[in-house]
Amino acid sequence: MNEQENKLKHTETSKSLPIAMLRAREAIMLSFRPVLAKHGFTEQQWRVLRVLGEKGPSDAGQVAFDACILAPSLSRILGKLEKDKYISRFIDANDGRRINLSLTTLGEEVLEKIVPETGIIYNSLQKSYGEEKLRVLLELLGEISQWKGR
Amino acid sequence: MNEQENKLKHTETSKSLPIAMLRAREAIMLSFRPVLAKHGFTEQQWRVLRVLGEKGPSDAGQVAFDACILAPSLSRILGKLEKDKYISRFIDANDGRRINLSLTTLGEEVLEKIVPETGIIYNSLQKSYGEEKLRVLLELLGEISQWKGR
DNA sequence: TTTATATAGTTAATATGTTAAGTTCTTTAG
DNA sequence: CTAAAGAACTTAACATATTAACTATATAAA
């Protein structure tokens, strides 16, 4: 590969990491979204429910980080999830700025109902793609996530 | 790992592929977005310009695929890019439904001005992460993109 | 203690994501 | 040739993404 080609490499969309991640993610979400939609949830709402189910009650900042959702988006999502009674939010006793969140019984119920359905899809992916490859991919993505930029 | 743990594995957000890709992508975009913003572009607008620069004039459907943007979003983005004179769009002579797109001279100029700046960032990532790892990651993501779902 | 600064969330404004419906043009069945 | 079906793009409606400004509380400095 000559100098010119190397300089332009990252401009090729097929070799652009952000676009590659977007494409790959989209291929997967194409299967997941209909399942969530059937139950009336968006992927973001679903991430919030899963995070709360996995780590138990947390404050909004923690959920925002875990679900990879920015604070302004989370605020609106929480408003809807609370209105629909999937979660409850209350001010922290020790820090009046902090909002604690937890699943309601209804929230736990839908979580347990939907998880098996998404599990079927994920298992199918794992089967056709390979468990080891999947492990490597998660590892590599995890390292990218650590990048502090420049 | 027992049966119960295995069943819940994909529910752990740290091992969820869609979330892992989201996180990794965000880590990278955190560095890229300010550069694009400095020039007044969003990442989606930038993807459209890059795709047109890389493959030359294309119809809207092709650009939508290449830039990984859904048609409705692309319509709005094209409206803005055209208004700002970065691209031109005209109806295909052989198929009245199809819209052909191409960069204007101004579009080519901004592309050539910004690409080197993003290149610096990408090279930094490549250096700290490793060229070989990056290649493997792109390969694995490419395979995921092929997945037809189930 | 009073002021300054920082933190956690929310609200606002603009852009994009997502699904459904609508338009216009093409192709195909009859 | 004509009506039906399909394709490419646009518009609409609602949800989320992004950045900035704002509110309330908490902590640190003077």
User: Looking at beta carbons, which residues of chain A come within 8 Å of B25?
Assistant: 17-18, 21-22, 25
Q: What are the sequence ranges of the domains in chain A?
A: 19-145
Give me the count of residues in chain B. 150
Q: Hey, what CATH topology would domain B26-143 get?
A: Arc Repressor Mutant, subunit A (1.10.10)
How does pLDDT run across B2-56, given as a tens digit for each residue? 444 444 455 576 679 999 999 999 999 999 999 999 999 999 999 999 999 999 9
Sign of torsion over alpha carbons B138, A147, A33, A19: negative
How far apart CA A95 and CA B9 sit, in angstroms, is 34
- Candidates 3.40.30.10, 1.20.1250.20, 3.30.1340.10, 1.10.10.10; CATH matching A19-145: 1.10.10.10
Q: Tokens 């700046």 map to which residue?
A: B117
How far apart CA B10 and CA B12 sit, in angstroms, is 5
- Work out if A52's Cβ lies within 7 angstroms of strand C: no
- Work out if A59's Cβ lies within 7 angstroms of strand C: yes
Q: Which of A22, A16, A12 is nearest to B125 (CA)?
A: A16
Average pLDDT over residues A78-95: 97
Q: Which of B65, B73, B21, B85 is nearest to B42 (CA)?
A: B73
**Residue A148 Rama label (left phi>0; alpha psi -120 to 50; beta):** alpha
How does pLDDT run across B71-116, given as a tens digit for each residue? 999 999 999 999 999 999 999 999 999 999 999 999 999 999 999 9
Contact A28 B17 (CB under 8 A): yes
